[in-house]
Chains A and B, each alone.
Chain A
Amino acid sequence: MIEPIRDHYEDIQLFTARGSWIKLVLLLVVLVSLPLLLPGYRVFTLNYMAVFVIVGLGMNVLVGYTGQVSLGHAGFLAIGAYTMVLLMTRLAVPFPFALVMAGFVSALFGFLLGLPALRLAGPYLAIATLGFGLAVTQIIGHSALFGGHMGLVVPDATVGPFPLSGDVSKYYVIVGITFVLALGVRNLSVTRVGRAFRAIRDSEIAAATMGVDVAYYKTLSFAVSAALTGVAGGLLALMTGFISPGVFTFTLSLMFLAMVVFGGLGSITGAVLGSIVMGYLNLEMDAFQELPVLGPALESFSERFMSTVGLPNFGWVVTGMLIVFTILIEPQGLYGLWIRALDTMKRSKNADAELSRPGSGAD
């Protein structure tokens, strides 16, 4: 079996691959022209996926780089969304500043939660975040300030003199921010901080021996992850125009985890891909029914053995199974498959070179 890459130098190599500038520019061109090519309602889907991508970046920092699990990121998403909306409605803070504050407040909560939970080895962070996610929706649902179960309407946002009214103008704001954050996370991963994160993931004890302050960096990684998710929460509020505690459920937190696991832990490309797939799946839970052949088959199966009213829940089964099979078959997810394919190609090329060399013993 080929071990997937866990070597830091190979990681670095991936980031400094030649031709990456050209790819970046190409990607930018595609991103700028996408809303002009697609029908209007699809732009909403794109915005939704971009918000998921930001959360995926945050989860990647925490789970992929530092090796910690969070079951409460929907809580940070909620904190970001409510912070932004409340600042805009109660204090008339302009949108860009409110969005930055959403990130900060979310990071603060992440720091406060991470501080006790991350001092200890073991599953304490996962357990604490499970409680955190459920507590946040409880508090929001019962407080008049947060609009209770009825939720809050998001006020119209403007960037300087420009109003953000349609999906397309929001698209450029959301995707622009997503792009910048992705670059930021990519750069973070090759700094001293990023190296410390990965050292912790690979072995806490070895990292501590090398002088890495394990508790500090774990908490920092959790705070960074919460900050990104908070910004995503603000943007989610911006794009949907309405927020309520029913959005930020435990299953959403699990969905966030699924994105990075499926995409590939520790890889930005993987996290982005996983987030796009899962974001689409989450928004279009009934997409399965519309598939050409499988759709009707699924419907008749549901009718006979399951139930048709419950069919929208099929998406959760798929998400859960994707996690289970990813961990069973290829724990590095899509990214791991890609690396293995590259590796196989390289090997066969080397083997060819070996064969063509005279006197190599292959005859």
Chain B
Amino acid sequence: MLPQVFASGLSAGSIYALMALALVITYKTTEVPNFAQGDMAMVSAFIAYMFLTDFETGFIFAFGAALVFAFLLGVGFEGLLLRRMRKPTHLNLIIMTLGFTLALFGFAGWKWGADQRQFPFPVSANEVIRFGSVSISTLSVATILIAGILMLLVFAFFRFTKLGVAMQATQQDPIAARINGVPARAVVGLTFGISSVIGTVAALLTAPLITLDPTLMWDALLKGFAAAVLGGLNTPVGAVLGGYLLGVIENLFGAYVSVEFKSVVAFLIIVIVLWFRPSGLFGRHHERKV
């Protein structure tokens, strides 16, 4: 039973880890928890759906279009809304992301209706592969692989490319980065674009598992935040580990305690972490100077 639980946990955790990573890289750059992350990804998934069903394109083209759209949406959100605020206080920034998410939610409902739709996907959630005693769907295998590879690519990008290092520099200290010749504004926009793409990959992997409707990413958004709090809001690696950990804990809870209340686990984890280790398992606490 236990290996099976871990396999399901790993597959669910991959999606939480992607969402957590997407949230953390923008949070590190701007100190804004982007509550629109989920619905930006949801709308992008609908774009893929539109290409697949209305225009009848292939998967590669449709998913590519969705990712390009997601990138532009992220860059646009930062450049046209977040940056243009009159008083960019923390409160106003958070409220802006919430207003944007509500508008996106309404837009998706208006354009595509609230019905639950089957999302076509190259691999199926019903086809099962067996590894010894563990049986796992091909969709789960694909999810684990795609999410893992994407996250490795993102970390490699941050570590080994000039642009990635510039992004890290901007996260640590925007003014110092600018003095050293980093175009900090463009980098912040780019960060939102990349973050939106990562979130959209999570949405494209979630949609075939459940069904596609405007509430697609509500749950994943909460899980992403819970994972980020668990691992540490300031540490991308910690947040990703938090995502996998959350997936496993949740499935353990589902297997041994209660399936019905599985979704409450994320909330409990947030509260418990805030009580005992607010900086997260892998994060370091830093005091803000006046």
Residues of A within 8 A of B (CB): 1, 63, 67-69, 71, 113, 116-117, 119-124, 126-128, 130-132, 134-135, 138-139, 142, 205, 250-251, 254-255, 257-258, 261, 265, 302, 306-307, 309-324, 326-331
The 0/1 profile, CB within 8 Å of A marked 1, for residues 263-278 of chain B is 1101110110011001
Does B106 belong to the interface (CB within 8 Å)?
Answer: yes
Most chain A CB atoms below 10 A, which of B85, B110, B113, B233: B110
Task: Please judge, given known A-B contacts A127-B270, A131-B266, A327-B85, whether A69 and B105 are in contact too, CB under 8 Å.
Answer: no
A324, B35: Cβ atoms closer than 8 Å: no
Q: Which of B211-234 contact A (CB under 8 A)?
A: 214, 218-219, 221-222, 225-226, 229, 233
Contacts of B108 in A (CB 8 A): 313
Does B114 belong to the interface (CB within 8 Å)?
Answer: yes
Look across to chain B and name the residue whose beta carbon is closest to the beta carbon of A137: B263
Contacts of A265 in B (CB 8 A): 91
A122, B233: Cβ atoms closer than 8 Å: yes
Select which of A121, A122, A254 is within 8 A of B101 by beta carbon: A254
B106, A317: Cβ atoms closer than 8 Å: yes
Report the separation of the CA atoms of residues A119 and B113 in the bound assembly, to the nearest whole angstrom: 41
A116, B103: Cβ atoms closer than 8 Å: no
Select which of A126, A255, A317 is within 8 A of B33 by beta carbon: A126
A123, B278: Cβ atoms closer than 8 Å: no
Task: Please judge, given known A-B contacts A142-B261, A307-B112, whether A320 and B104 are in contact too, CB under 8 Å.
Answer: yes
**Which applies to chain A's interface (DSSP): helix, strand, loop or mixed?**
helix
Q: Which of B105-138 contact A (CB under 8 A)?
A: 105-114
Task: Please judge, given known A-B contacts A120-B278, A135-B267, A310-B109, whether A327 and B99 are in contact too, CB under 8 Å.
Answer: yes
B111, A306: Cβ atoms closer than 8 Å: yes
Contacts of B101 in A (CB 8 A): 254, 320
B99, A258: Cβ atoms closer than 8 Å: yes
B163 to chain A, nearest CB (A): 27
Contacts of B90 in A (CB 8 A): 123
Does B92 belong to the interface (CB within 8 Å)?
Answer: yes
Report the separation of the CA atoms of residues A121 and B87 in the bound assembly, to the nearest whole angstrom: 19
Look across to chain A and name the residue whose beta carbon is closest to the beta carbon of B104: A320
B225, A71: Cβ atoms closer than 8 Å: no
28 interchain pairs, CB-CB under 8 A: A69-B91, A116-B271, A123-B33, A126-B33, A127-B33, A128-B274, A134-B218, A139-B264, A251-B102, A307-B110, A307-B111, A310-B112, A313-B105, A313-B108, A313-B109, A313-B110, A314-B110, A317-B107, A320-B101, A320-B103, A320-B105, A323-B96, A324-B81, A326-B99, A327-B96, A327-B99, A328-B84, A331-B92
| Given contact pairs A1-B86, A324-B96, A331-B85, a sample of 18 additional A-B residue pairs in the complex whose CB atoms are under 8 Å apart | A63-B91, A69-B95, A120-B278, A121-B288, A122-B233, A126-B35, A126-B94, A128-B274, A142-B261, A261-B99, A306-B111, A314-B106, A318-B106, A320-B99, A320-B102, A320-B105, A323-B102, A324-B100
A310, B110: Cβ atoms closer than 8 Å: yes
Residues of B within 8 A of A (CB): 27, 33, 35, 81, 84-87, 90-92, 94-96, 98-114, 214, 218-219, 221-222, 225-226, 229, 233, 260-261, 263-264, 266-268, 270-271, 274-275, 278, 288, 290
**Which applies to chain B's interface (DSSP): helix, strand, loop or mixed?**
helix
B95, A323: Cβ atoms closer than 8 Å: yes
Most chain B CB atoms below 10 A, which of A120, A121, A132, A254: A254
Contacts of B86 in A (CB 8 A): 1, 327-331
Report the separation of the CA atoms of residues A116 and B98 in the bound assembly, to the nearest whole angstrom: 23
Look across to chain A and name the residue whose beta carbon is closest to the beta carbon of B23: A127
B114, A139: Cβ atoms closer than 8 Å: no
